[in-house]
Chain A
């Protein structure tokens, strides 16, 4: 089955700096890669996603890149703000195969004011 590795497990950045989280996946058939933000005691919220036919996608301060050949994808948050502090999860799935998500281990991001 699919295996998703995520790094780093914790990330501390100064407000205004950028944060980068990287994930690798094992199943070359995976074609959908969402990123979720989870605040304490809440369910995950989708913040951005990318499909395998796209190399990069941007939404305001958040961007995601995908390298299919290397089987890795990354989340970039620019101009970080204290409210960006949360746990971020990457995930991978095969959209044609029931949409089951395999999650990475998570990255705890702390933005210091």
Chain B
């Protein structure tokens, strides 16, 4: 199956700093990638849709200036959490769709655990 990687897997930072998370599709190209946020024992909440060559589409309630998304190439999307605060601590997961067999399937990255002190 298709593989999506994320880097780093874990990051601890001080309050007020910015953190960049990378999402890569390793063996396929993705014009679209999705970024999710997951709090402990909760479901995945879609934050934004990353579009290669154009601006990201953010879900209602997600601050665009706080969560900067850049889809630099067909295999890389980055999420930058700016001026991070403890409440931004969460598990961030990306996914990318690609065609398998006869239909479109989404593949998820392993996630990035962000802890803001």
Contacts and interface: CB of A to CB of B under 8 A. Distances in A.
A44 B108 contact: yes
Interface size class of B (residues with CB under 8 A): 20 to 34
Interface centre among A99, A104, A105 (most CB of B within 10 A): A99
A44 B43 contact: no
Contacts of A103: 43-45
Contacts of A68: none
Given A100-B34, A105-B43, A95 B111 contact: no
Interface of B: 4, 6, 32, 34, 41-46, 49, 93, 95, 97, 103-111, 113
A43 B103 contact: no
A113 interface: no
Given A34-B106, A41-B111, A105-B42, 6 more contacts: A51-B103, A99-B32, A99-B104, A100-B34, A100-B46, A108-B41
Interface residues of A, number: 23
Contacts of B103: 32, 51, 95
Contacts of A101: 34, 46, 95, 106
A99 B111 contact: no
A49 B43 contact: no
A9 to B, nearest CB: 9
A47 to B, nearest CB: 12
A58 to B, nearest CB: 16
